[in-house]
Structure 1
């Protein structure tokens, strides 16, 4: 009997359609699936602890070993809602930003925006966002990502959506996470896996109905998954990945 494949995926609400789709093929017969914070997904993939991963895009920039696996991703055409700079003062007043330690993609996105779009010099502090004391002074901001944004956004006077800012800067959507692998997988498995992802994306209302313990209502979750998140990895999103990599390399020439 062949060894089961191992897969890691992001443990946020925006991954629910993918998980719902994988459940439709009774995935436990075919592979082991773990749901992790983005940084842990990246670590597992880069350490070859898993065969396939839904990982933050920053983790695989400039790493040709890892190939895109499927035509699906976690992206946004404009507002994403859950990658947000929160503050009590306007953007122009911010001198220091606490960066959510769950993902380097969002941290590098805000650094790219600050350097090339906002033209601002900001002090960056990586932190466990849930332990940062609030309210923050007007000179400080907090980059929050994922489901925790739902509970934090109303506690701040200003919310700046980073996907929207990226779109205004570049005219392109933003890609936050992609499915990747460094392994050679069978065509049969690949087709079955991708069809399962497609099934989940095409049945988001059903996927949302299956959820319990949400910080938001099922209707709000459905709206978020259908209006804020964009799952198809089309040409504009692939172009966005290339451009994001370009700006990251300009910002970090040694990386």
Structure 2
């Protein structure tokens, strides 16, 4: 009599930002063996470390800090070749006049903090105290002359007073000529070992979902966000989702490795990790 093996449910982390919609929209079908848990990037990283979730888009720095804990899902990432639109430094002063003044930084993403630290130190040759804060961008700018904001909060922010706005991935591209990878899709190694077939199936399903949704962004925006082309936010959201780089191709991997090298130089990670993918585990 054949033995029946019960497949464990995969626990999928979901970042609650617009930039993940091309992955998640209509990703799950009836009967799929998975459950989801929503949070912002720092929460997702923590839950992956604790084993509360199995697969998620984690910050690139989280992978760099704990490479032995994860395998990467091939072909998918969250990044930008030039403008990210949602990882922004807002400042009351131009960058040249900020000098060593403190900067308020979002507590939602550690990768963006390290990217900013690298750019300020290596490109602009300045050193700043970072003040981790939550709250609105206006409240952060009251606490410091500049602030780093990410996600939808940064994308939709409109200041009532004049302020400078700098896109970190644009700074990165101007300096390195490479795209920047903010997040990689990863699976905990234990989950991969326990449920390899389900992990590979989810990885394939994720890539199919991404390609389908990138080819039908108007449908995604209308159904998921209830926005029509007549809505004020429609053009901004469409442009934003169109300009993101969602593929972990060779160029994106080169940019990711360069980020790891620079993060290592400022002691944000111990060493430059290899990029290990689930198909290498399967082999």
Structure-1 residue corresponding to 2:213: 200
Greater displacement, 151-160 / 230-239: 151-160
Give the superposition deviation at 1:150: 3.2
Q: Residue 114 of structure 2 contacts residue 268 of structure 2 at CA under 8 Å; is this kept in 1?
A: no
**Residue among 68, 74, 83 paired with 1:70:** 74
Say whether residues 1:140 and 2:140 are aligned partners: no
Distance in 1 of aligned mates of 2:172 and 2:51: 31
**Residue among 166, 170, 176 paired with 2:182:** 176
Greater displacement, 105-114 / 26-35: 26-35
Distance in 2 of aligned mates of 1:223 and 1:167: 19
Give the superposition deviation at 1:216: 6.0
Distance in 2 of aligned mates of 1:224 and 1:254: 30
Structure-1 residue corresponding to 2:97: 93
Say whether residues 1:211 and 2:216 are aligned partners: no
**Residue among 15, 20, 23 paired with 1:10:** 15
Structure-1 residue corresponding to 2:254: 239
Q: Residue 21 of structure 1 contacts residue 197 of structure 1 at CA under 8 Å; is this kept in 2?
A: no
Q: Count residues in correspondence.
A: 251
Give the superposition deviation at 1:96: 1.3
Please, which runs of 5 or more residues in structure 2 have no aligned partner?
Answer: 1-5, 271-283
Paired residue secondary structure (2:225)? coil
User: Superposed, which structure 2 residues align to 1:121-140 within 5 Å?
Assistant: 121-130=127-136, 133=139, 136=142, 140=145
TM-score normalised by length of structure 1:
0.90
Distance in 2 of aligned mates of 1:140 and 1:178: 32
Give the superposition deviation at 1:222: 1.1
Map Cα deviations across residues 68-121 of structure 1 (whole Å, 9 max, x no partner).
113111110101110000011111222111010000010100000011111111
CA change 1:131–1:205 in 2 (3 A) is closer
Please, which runs of 5 or more residues in structure 1 have no aligned partner?
Answer: none
Q: Residue 8 of structure 1 contacts residue 52 of structure 1 at CA under 8 Å; is this kept in 2?
A: yes
Distance in 2 of aligned mates of 1:103 and 1:241: 16
TM-score normalised by length of structure 2:
0.81
Give the superposition deviation at 1:203: 2.4
